[in-house]
Amino acid sequence: MAKPEAPVIIKKYANRRLYNTGTSTYVTLEDLAGMLKSGEDFVVYDAKTGEDITRSVLTQIIFEQEGKQGQNLLPITFLRQLIRFYGDSMQMLVPRYLESSLDLFSREQSKFREQMTQAWGVGGFGTMEDQVRRNMEMFQRAFTMFTPFARRDENGEGEKPAEKTEAQPGEIDALRRQLEDMQKRLERLSEADKDKAAGGSGS
């Protein structure tokens, strides 16, 4: 069945309970997260005042998801940079930038999933060194894909940076540090794999 276009209305009561008016049932933040993952949108209103509190509830969902072991999406560096923008003169531009970034990433995620499958699929690599190199190339493409200031050429092949747009030095340095750290970890895994292979052949 086709899902309704209008967002489902959720009411939040004083006891913090959330009520789904579409199914006439009480729901949890985990239930709301599941709705979003399945493509079902919603808005949340305070049951007493009628105030739209969707933003605060979505923030609570993110907080709950980030608290789960192994499900962190927001890097520490990103969170620190984001906090610094509150009250800054550039604050009004940040939501639009993040929205554009995630919109582009969402539209390109099928291509990225394919790259992930090729990277870690069966028979994808011959040696550990080759795997490290290709993993880094894949992460580089992912970061390039993530920037909202990239656009396709006329033939739809590859990405071109938008004219008269420059990335902030701090952002580039942060990404470079993350990539370097990732590369070091992968290289350590490569060395460990070599040592294990050498130990096995020597026994």
Mean pLDDT by 10 residues, the chain (203 residues): 74 94 95 93 96 96 88 88 91 89 81 70 51 59 55 48 50 68 68 62 55
pLDDT at 162: 45
C-alpha 118/C-alpha 136 separation (Å) is 13
CA distance linking residue 194 with residue 176, whole number of Å: 27
Tell me what pLDDT residue 9 has: 96
pLDDT at 124: 46
pLDDT given for residue 193 in this prediction = 61
Task: Give the single-character DSSP code of 14.
Answer: T
Residue from 71, 51, 52, 70 nearest 61 by CA: 71
Residues 6+ apart with CB under 8 A from 70: none
Q: Quick one: pLDDT at residue 108?
A: 80
Phi and psi angles of residue 113, each rounded to the nearest 5 degrees, phi first: -60, -40
Burial group, residue 32, by CB count within 10 angstroms (0-12, 13-18, 19+): buried
Domain boundaries, the chain: 1-73, 74-203
Structure confidence at residue 120 (pLDDT): 62
70: left (phi over 0), alpha (psi -120 to 50) or beta: left
